[in-house]
Amino acid sequence: MISHKKYMELAIKLAERGKGVTSPNPMVGCIVVKRGRIVGKGFHRKAGTEHAEVLAINDAGKKAVNSTLYVNLEPCSHWGRTPPCTEKIVEAGVREVIIGMEDPNPLVDGFRELKFRGLKTKIGILDKEAKKLNEAYTKFMKTKRPFVILKVAMSVDGKIATSTGDSKYITSKEARTYVHQLRSEVDAVMVGLNTVLRDNPELTPRLVKGKDPMKIVVDSKLKIPKNCNLMKNPAKLIIATTNNALKNTIKKFQQKGINVIITKSKSGFVDLDDLMKQLGKHEITSVMIEGGSQLNSSAIKEGIVDKALIFAAPKIIGNGIGAIGSLGIKKIDKAINLKNPIVKKIGKDVLIEGYL
């Protein structure tokens, strides 16, 4: 059993190398082992390219015969953009397949297929770790909506800016680098109009090397300034608005190459639940909200948040702008408890990560 876990850990580590670039596909790593030696490795690099299992088997060549294959996600058994991996595994003469977790995609039945073809097959090795790695893919597969992370950077007394709106920078460079890394791993970063007006952000992962995500601005009346930083790259911009926006303005933005999504209106504002449904149709599988207190509280109230990342800096601001606006909670026993919280230190700051 120990060696199974050891090799699965390696497969998961390999899969992580595809962070940010495989969407809407999952991150998959695969290792081929023969007589206690790794003879082949591969990870999925990009949607539409060869799957990890195929790369690992090609890497192993003839040594794949009578080998054990470790993969963090159930191998596909259907024709998609690429042929089924189960066929390749059987053809290569692999004897045993060890799988981390089952694939939430209903079309995938690789575990049963391999068993049926006479291979020794086990599933559920390090499945907790395998599930965490592909939590966005899993949610997207089951609901056709993106996995939503709420990111907050605040002082230890819960403020994201001073009373004058000054907010640069509450957290340390280490925490900001960590966030830039996350930006490069999600499909999109989302802010409200207020954040654009106040901070004129770029929302790029400039402190790390990585993919530049899509930017989503929630702007119910299309008041976004034409000369703001986010407008410089229209192909990367999605503006979510409502029917309250002028048709003329919508047209102008669309002509610039900006994707304008018109959602249902919720008391005059963008209906975030409807927005998530529409983003899912655009194959956006993960979104990180980096908004102000109003967008943060709306997202929580509308039930779209899956996970919260709260960075607290050892600074006290006093009177200022709170991290999360009103949730209408009157009693402590009605407070939202984060599930499975983890606390990490990043630079001088503390990160609390938990699920809603």
| Beta strands, E only, the chain | 29-34, 37-43, 68-73, 96-101, 120-123, 147-155, 159-162, 188-192, 214-218, 237-241, 259-262, 265-266, 269-270, 286-289, 307-313, 320-322, 339-346, 349-355
CB atoms within 10 A of CB 267: 6
To the nearest 10°, report the CA torsion of 31, 132, 202, 168.
-130
53 is catalytic: yes
Q: In whole angstroms, what is the distance from residue 226 CA to residue 203 CA?
A: 17
Secondary structure class of 165 (helix, strand, coil): coil
Secondary structure class of 153 (helix, strand, coil): strand
With a CB cutoff of 8 Å and minimum separation 6, the contacts of 31 are: 7, 10, 11, 14, 38, 40, 41, 56, 69, 70, 71
Catalytic hit among 9, 16, 50, 53: 53
Residues forming the active site: 53
